[in-house]
Amino acid sequence: MTSLHADEAFLSHYEFSHDPFAPRVPGFKFFPAQRKPVLGQLHHLARYSQLLLLVTGPKGSGKTLLRQALVASTNKQTVQSVVVSARGGMDAGGLLRQVAQGLNSPQAELRGIQAQIAQLALTDQEVYLLVDDAEELDDSALDALLALAGGQADARPHVFLFGHSSLLPRLELLAEGGERFHAIELQPYTEDETVEYLEQRLEGAGQGLDVFSDEQLADIHLQSKGWPGLINQVARETLIDAMLAQRGSERSGGLALKLPQKHLLALGIVVIAVLAAWLMKGSSTPESEASAVAQAPATSQQGGATQPAAPGQDGPAIEFAGSSQPLPLPLVGQAQPVIRQPLAQAAGQADGEEAGVGEPVAPVVLPDPVPTAPAVAPSAPVAAPAAPAPSVPPSAPVAPTPAPSVAKPAAPVAAPAPKPAAPAKPAAPASSGDWYGSQAASHYALQILGTRSESSAQAFVRQQGNGYRYFKKIHQGQPLYVVTYGSFASREAAQAAIRTLPAKVQAGKPWPKTFASIRQEAQAR
């Protein structure tokens, strides 16, 4: 189950109207605990302070949500907000260009922007400049922001930075001991506030807090340390793990084979075909058996004359409609893919479908007899010489004569009846199972993506190189190949490693997952 986008199976299992733990959900209200006082403080300082304002907190502490609430709660008639994202790094030139674009300033330099702000002040318009991911600004951009915040009263924007606490010593160095900025550090939720936050999220999705046990609620607060972003992530992972465990116990508790209807139908056809072949073998005559052993073409009788049958009509063969392709396993409810955002885009059905059910069954071809010692039937005694066989058409191949050393010519021996072939299991992925099993259950890996195609998973692992592996699980009755990265002793270490991944891998929103849950998923099939 990789998420990424809301998974249909996850939503239907808990009867959610939407994913309650997504970053942005329909009708979500700003949660006031530990954040409403900070919001009020920012509005107050913007009115009465001339300092640059810095809001710090770790990843997942709710900085972006606070920035959105600040913009939403301002008076749009008197405040013009310019929002800049510094993700990916930004220097002074790039920053000033974005600010100038937001203010419709013709000049993307410090004095031109200040002049534009002064023009807006004549119409009683203030400017809020808000920067997300501010820790990724370089020193030149930070210096430009300090200069904007400390400019003349009529040409000064209110500057708000939202970033990691590592930004503090850099600003102190640039301020050179002067009082040029004010920092506010966000605080985590208490355990009671964590429970209230989860309750609000669940009620918005049409469910109550009873989807969690008291032990699970306590564990969510412990793992997330009260930071709202991590609360969402750990809560969703907890529900998914509980759902997978429940489904695994249901499968192990009975012999119910939950296959799609098409596959059950195909399996029934295979069984009927094998039974028909068994019955046909039991009712065949010695002449027909001899003809089968010798691979003679079928003949037809018309008016007492023997004529060769038309080409391509060698006898009954078992076929399926569309036998050139395996029957596809449909996705239940046409759900979006599992792992979180990346899973969905790679989950094709070209290579990863189950091959054991619905494959065409080839007709059984018996080998030509070899002119050596007569074959001995497995259990029945060799029959006595039969009456002279009817004349064989000149065009039919004549069975070889037994060697002179044999005392009695053996009657054609019927081949053993074909046994029903067991459905072939899907090929196992390139073995990473032993590696996953060797990791500590409490350690974490980063789940990167999930795909229905094993070749796609192999190609991705080969392209990314060392540290990437994949395992196989069963999702909605179909194989799913899940790519992971690394092994980390803690969730914090795994979260920190996300920032070191390539940009295109980070775009898939990787998330930490314990090896205990990975092994449980890999074994639940």
Query: What own/partner pairs with CB < 8 Å and gap ≥ 24 does 242-251 have?
Result: 242/216, 243/1, 243/9, 243/10, 243/13, 243/14, 244/1, 244/517, 244/520, 244/521, 244/524, 245/520, 245/524, 247/524, 248/520, 248/523, 248/524, 251/524
Point out the residues of the chain with pLDDT beneath 50.
1-6, 254-257, 285-429, 431
Among 488, 498, 422, 450, smallest CA distance to 4 is for 450
pLDDT of residue 262: 62
- What span, in angstroms and rounded, lies between the C-alpha atoms of 121 and 111? 15
Q: Which amino acid is at 101?
A: Q
pLDDT of residue 204: 87
Rounded to two decimals, the pTM is: 0.47
Radius of gyration of the chain (CA): 36
Q: How many CB atoms lie within 10 A of CB 256?
A: 8
CB burial of residue 332 (10 Å; 0-12, 13-18, 19+): middle
pLDDT of residue 431: 47
pLDDT of residue 280: 77
86 and 134 in contact (C-beta within 8 Å)? yes
- What span, in angstroms and rounded, lies between the C-alpha atoms of 477 and 12? 16
Note whether 36-185 and 433-523 share their fold: no
Domain ranges of the chain: 8-18+190-252, 36-185, 433-523
pLDDT of residue 261: 62
CATH topology of domain 433-523: Alpha-Beta Plaits (3.30.70)
Among 55, 51, 45, smallest CA distance to 165 is for 55
- What span, in angstroms and rounded, lies between the C-alpha atoms of 497 and 77? 43
Q: Which amino acid is at 122?
A: L
**Element (H or E) spanning 355, and its range?**
none
pLDDT of residue 260: 58
- What span, in angstroms and rounded, lies between the C-alpha atoms of 406 and 396? 25
337 and 5 in contact (C-beta within 8 Å)? yes
Helix 63-72 crosses helix 36-48 at what angle (to 10 degrees)? 60
pLDDT of residue 28: 66
Q: Which CATH superfamily includes the segment(s) 36-185?
A: P-loop containing nucleotide triphosphate hydrolases (3.40.50.300)
- What span, in angstroms and rounded, lies between the C-alpha atoms of 470 and 430? 8
Tokens of 216: 């699970």
- What span, in angstroms and rounded, lies between the C-alpha atoms of 451 and 472? 10
